[in-house]
Structure 1
Amino acid sequence: MGSVAAKSDRVVLGVLCMMTFSIFGPLIDAFAKLVPSEIPVGQIIAARFAVQGIMLLPMAAMFGWLHRPNNHELGLHIVRAALILLATGCFVAAIRVMPLADAIAIFFVEPFILTLLGGFLLGEAIGPRRIMACLVGFCGALLVIKPSFAAFGPVAMFPLGTAFCFAFYMVLTRRMAVAMHPVTLQAYTAIAAIGLAFPVLWFFDGSGSVALDPTFPERYGFLMLLGVGMSATIAHIFVSFALSLAPAATIAPFQYLEIVAATALGYWIFSDLPDALTFLGIAIIVGSGIYVFTRERRLSRLPTPPP
């Protein structure tokens, strides 16, 4: 019974970490949307990982969590960094022209993708009830902000690109987080992302490219870039802990709580007042997450049947 209780506690802690990520995640997007338009998307992404590396690498070194990655692990870090670079770039480009809540609503096909990938690539159990909970949560997300491709054109595809890249990023995080400390994982990912992003910015320096030609930010822009990096670091530390403690398919529905935080931030910062349909969608999202949480906790406490 002790091992069953310990397993349950790990799953519950993983869910709580995912819920914390879902609170800090929209802060990344809010800070990114507040970055002045003269600062290119590529510079925002590079600053996000530079701050993450500066924050986490000394911490990992101080506590003795660093190790020398082998070639296979190094390759996984590079792939993971490329995925999160693409995911971040697509989303930041989207929110430059779209309302934050609209972009996040389109992005919320991601937990459903993650649940399926957790089953197919990681061999995690995804029963019909869990799939239904993800579908119900996704329907709730659609009620919060109804995405309109007609309104925004091809840019509406960018959050979908973010969703697919981030889902694969989460699968790799789950696979790697069980083998190393989450702080180390995020520190190495930051180093890999910096190694990929900064040469691109150097190459495009002075090119006049709207997306990639870097500029020296004013004080306000610098503070917003710092906010992007700090909120991203905190959020992704928590998601790494979550994926080291619980299966990806279990915690995926709780990512829908991001839409709750995003709606609140949209109202507070950008004066985007939610309507009755929005609140109905939020209630459905929260309800689907609570259902998975309570059912997972009940099942994990059941004794394992004898062979």
Structure 2
Amino acid sequence: MTQPTQLSAPLSQAHWVGSGIVFAVLAMASLSFSDATSKWVLLSVSPVMVLWFRYAVQALGTTLVLAPLRGRAMWRTHSLRWQLLRGLLMVSCSLLAFYCLQRMPVAEFTATVMLTPLVLTVLARFVMKEKVSPLRWLMVVGGLVGALLVIRPGGQVDSTVGWMALTVVVTYAVFQAVTSHMTRTEDPAVMQLYTGWVGWAVSTLLVFNAWVTPQSLNEWLLLLLVGLAATLGQYLLIVAFSKAPASVVSPFLYTAVGFSTLLGWWLFDHIPDAWAFTGMALVVLCGLVSSRIKFASQA
């Protein structure tokens, strides 16, 4: 009678891991769709307006989901200062990202943001004093070379905007480091709630002098889609990491580059040139190898 139990355990574990991968890919598809939709609506709406709608949807949506389940307990946190810092980092990252998307193709932007795990390696060494192997340093250099190929002078991306995209990477890497620290004591759903409301509060202050009422139903729908897709993507990513180990989920985050390239071609008729493709591939390769080395050393 024990044999079915022995067989069902690995099958059950494989099911959970498989669902984690599916959720990760769906999260990347949703976030890529949010970026592409943002670029589309930014043709007629200011970045600050898009920012406000993006966080208004997250704040309201998260509250409506958590309030019936937890009541006032949904605001319970071990460190309000860390929650505020995380929210400020995320809204800063989002605003910079919208300015970048307004001026550069979606695929190239997404590939540049994929440098984030490599920048986290630098933070791990110099801020958290972790040991970093020579091979991982080589991957950091390789990823940077790949990013420079994407934003090179004379390419399809304005180098000034390219450097702004690198600022997004650094900001997002610090955000990820803060998130990693907070997950030791904080509920991910509560973190999502605070991020939404901090982002909404900051964007509300910024939008006062930039508010222009959308002139068409199409603009209203696109702004709503940006918020819904971004919020759904973040939620799916949390679910993915809850169902499968980070070592399994992380490689599938790079599917975002493929989704963004496809959406950039479909919506904007843009295809990266050969050098940009080479740089994007190098960033993805170095990120994958670095992740594999990291998780292998932790095993």
Q: Secondary structure at the match of 1:93?
A: helix
User: In structure 2, do the counterparts of structure 1 residues 68 and 51 end up closer, same or farther at CA, with 3 Å as the change threshold?
Assistant: closer
Match of 1:97 in 2: 103
Equivalent-residue separation in structure 2 for 1:115 and 1:16 (angstroms): 26
- The letter for the 2-side match of 1:147 is R
Match of 1:148 in 2: 153
- The letter for the 1-side match of 2:174 is F
- Structure-to-structure mapping, 1:128-147, within 5 angstroms: 128-140=134-146, 145-147=150-152
**Identity of counterpart residues, as a percentage?**
24
User: In structure 2, do the counterparts of structure 1 residues 52 and 68 end up closer, same or farther at CA, with 3 Å as the change threshold?
Assistant: closer
- The letter for the 2-side match of 1:58 is L
Shift of 1:23: 3.6
**5+ long unaligned stretches in structure 2:** 1-9
- Structure-to-structure mapping, 1:112-191, within 5 angstroms: 112-122=118-128, 126-140=132-146, 145-148=150-153, 152=158, 154-191=160-197
Match of 2:6 in 1: none
Aligned match for 1:54, one of 51, 56, 60? 60
Shift of 1:164: 1.6
Match of 1:43 in 2: 49
Match of 1:84 in 2: 90
Match of 1:197 in 2: 203
- The letter for the 1-side match of 2:219 is G
Match of 1:208 in 2: none
Tell whether the 8 Å contact from 2:109 to 2:165 is kept in structure 1 after alignment.
yes
Deviates more, 1:220-229 or 1:110-119: 110-119
Deviates more, 1:250-259 or 1:219-228: 250-259
Deviates more, 1:282-291 or 1:105-114: 282-291
Match of 2:257 in 1: 259
Shift of 1:293: 5.7
Match of 1:270 in 2: 268
Q: Secondary structure at the match of 1:59?
A: helix
Equivalent-residue separation in structure 1 for 2:161 and 2:281 (angstroms): 28
Q: TM-score, normalised by structure 1?
A: 0.74
Equivalent-residue separation in structure 2 for 1:37 and 1:253 (angstroms): 33
Tell whether the 8 Å contact from 1:254 to 1:289 is kept in structure 2 after alignment.
no
Match of 1:207 in 2: none
Deviates more, 1:26-35 or 1:94-103: 94-103
Q: Secondary structure at the match of 1:273?
A: coil
Equivalent-residue separation in structure 2 for 1:221 and 1:78 (angstroms): 30
Tell whether the 8 Å contact from 2:115 to 2:144 is kept in structure 1 after alignment.
yes
Q: Secondary structure at the match of 1:64?
A: helix
Shift of 1:98: 2.3
User: In structure 2, do the counterparts of structure 1 residues 254 and 133 end up closer, same or farther at CA, with 3 Å as the change threshold?
Assistant: farther
Provide the aligned length of Structure 1 versus Structure 2: 286
**5+ long unaligned stretches in structure 1:** 205-211, 303-307
Deviates more, 1:24-33 or 1:282-291: 282-291
Q: TM-score, normalised by structure 2?
A: 0.75
Match of 1:305 in 2: none
Equivalent-residue separation in structure 1 for 2:203 and 2:232 (angstroms): 21
Equivalent-residue separation in structure 2 for 1:295 and 1:17 (angstroms): 24
User: In structure 2, do the counterparts of structure 1 residues 243 and 75 end up closer, same or farther at CA, with 3 Å as the change threshold?
Assistant: farther
